[in-house]
Structure 1
Amino acid sequence: MLLTTLLASAEYDETRWPAQTAPGVVTAVEERRHMQAADPEPATEEASVDVETMRASVRLLLDPDIAPEALLPVGAELDTLTATLRGHVQLLAPEVEQAACGLAPGGIARNSVLGCVGEAHIRLEAEPCQRHGGPVGYARRLARALNALLDHYEQPNRCAVTQPPRVCHHCDEPIDDPDDAVYAGHEMGNSGPGWDIWAHRAHIDLLGPDPDAVRIVARILVMNALRS
C-alpha cells in the first residue's frame, strides 16, 4: 500500500525512497523506462523545398525552348507528373503564405503573394476538364501556379504590377496580342471567385459548350418532358 502511494505521488524520488521488491520483480517505474528506451518517439522530418527539382517539373510542360512539335507527356507519365506537381504546390503554398505574413499589411507585394497562393489552392481543387485542355491542360495550369509560387518564394518582395498574360482555353497557349483575346465566360471555383475564360479569336468557335450549362439545360428539358 505504501509503495502504491509513493508511485502515484508526483514528488516520488527513487533515489530517496528506493522501492523494495523481491528479486526478479520489475517495478512500474522500471517497466515504463524499459518501454520508453525500447520504443523511442520517432523524430519527425519536415519535407524541404527543392527549388531546382520543382523548376525541372515546370519546364517539362512550360519550357519555351521545347520545339512546337515536341510531344507532351501522356498516360501514366502524365499522371505521375501531375501528381508530382500537386505535391510541389501543396508543399510550397504554405511556405509562400508564411513568407507573406512578414510583408507590410495591405501592401501590393503582400496582396500579390496571397493572391498567388489563393490561385494555387483553386488549381488544387479543380479537376481536368476536356473543355479546358483535358489532363494536359490541367497539368499545365498546375505548372503555371507552381512557377508563380517559386517566383514569390525566391523573391518575397516581388510583385507583378502588370496584367498577367491571358491563356487560350482551346490551345492552352498565352495570348500575346490583347486585341486577339476574346472573353468566353467565367469558370466558378469550388471556393473563391473562380477565373475568367479567354480564347484566341480564331479559337473562340472551337470551344466546347460549358458542361455545367449543358447539364442544367438537360435537367430542365427532362423535367418539362416528365410534366407534359
Structure 2
Amino acid sequence: MANATAPPDPDSGRTIVPPDIATVRATVRRLLAADAEPLAAEEVAEMTARLREDIAGLIPSVEALTRALPKDDIPRACALACIGEAQMRLRLGDGDTEPVRLSVAVRMARTANALADHHQALGRAS
C-alpha cells in the first residue's frame, strides 16, 4: 500500500516527511504478532527507540492532515485524540525491568500502528 503524499507544514513552509509506513508496520508486526518470537533485551530497546522516532515523525504529519478537515469531522477528532495519546506515550520511560520494557515497547507499537492507520485514512480523505 502506498503512502499518502506528505502535506506541507504551514508553520515552517516545509513538507513534513513521515516515516515509511511499511517500515513502521513491519516493526509493529515484529512486536504484536501472535506468533512473534521472543525478543532479546537489546532488540526490545532498539525497537522501542525506533518506534519513538517513528511516532515523533508521524505526529506532525497526521496533525497536518487534520488541518484540511472541518472542525466537527469525526475522523479528525479521532486522529487528534490519537495524537494526544501518542504524545503521552512519548513521555513514558523505558522501564526498570525486562517485562516493563517489553510492555512499553508493545504500547509504542500499538500507538505507532494507530498513527499509521490515521495517516493512511486521512491521506486518502484529503
State the TM-score, normalized to the length of structure 1.
0.44
Are 1:103 and 1:157, in contact at CA under 8 Å, matched by a contact in 2?
no
> Is the counterpart of residue 108 in structure 1 residue 108 in structure 2?
no
Structure with the largest fraction of helix: 2
> Is the counterpart of residue 147 in structure 1 residue 117 in structure 2?
no
Distance 2:85 2:71 in 1: 19
State the TM-score, normalized to the length of structure 2.
0.76
> Is the counterpart of residue 56 in structure 1 residue 22 in structure 2?
no
Tell me which of the two structures has the higher relative contact order, counting C-alpha pairs closer than 8 angstroms and 6 or more residues apart.
2
Aligned residue identity for 2:89: R
For residues 91-149 of structure 1, what are the alpha-carbon distances to aligned partners after superposition, in whole Å with 9 as ceiling and x for unaligned?
11110011011111022211111000110000001114469x40000000000000000
Unpaired runs of 5+ in structure 1? 1-43, 159-228
Unpaired runs of 5+ in structure 2? 1-13
Aligned residue identity for 1:111: A
Aligned residue identity for 1:109: P
Identical columns (%): 35
Distance 1:58 1:107 in 2: 28
Which residues of 2 match residues 180-219 of structure 1 at below 5 A?
A: none
Instruction: Count residues with an aligned counterpart.
Output: 110
How has the CA–CA distance of structure 1 residues 122 and 58 changed in structure 2, closer, same or farther, with 3 Å as cutoff?
same
How has the CA–CA distance of structure 1 residues 48 and 108 changed in structure 2, closer, same or farther, with 3 Å as cutoff?
closer
Aligned residue identity for 1:53: T
Larger Rg: 1
Distance 1:79 1:157 in 2: 31
Are 1:128 and 1:135, in contact at CA under 8 Å, matched by a contact in 2?
yes
**Over the residues paired in the alignment, what is the CA RMSD in angstroms?**
2.6
Residue in 2 aligned with 1:168?
A: none
How has the CA–CA distance of structure 1 residues 155 and 45 changed in structure 2, closer, same or farther, with 3 Å as cutoff?
closer
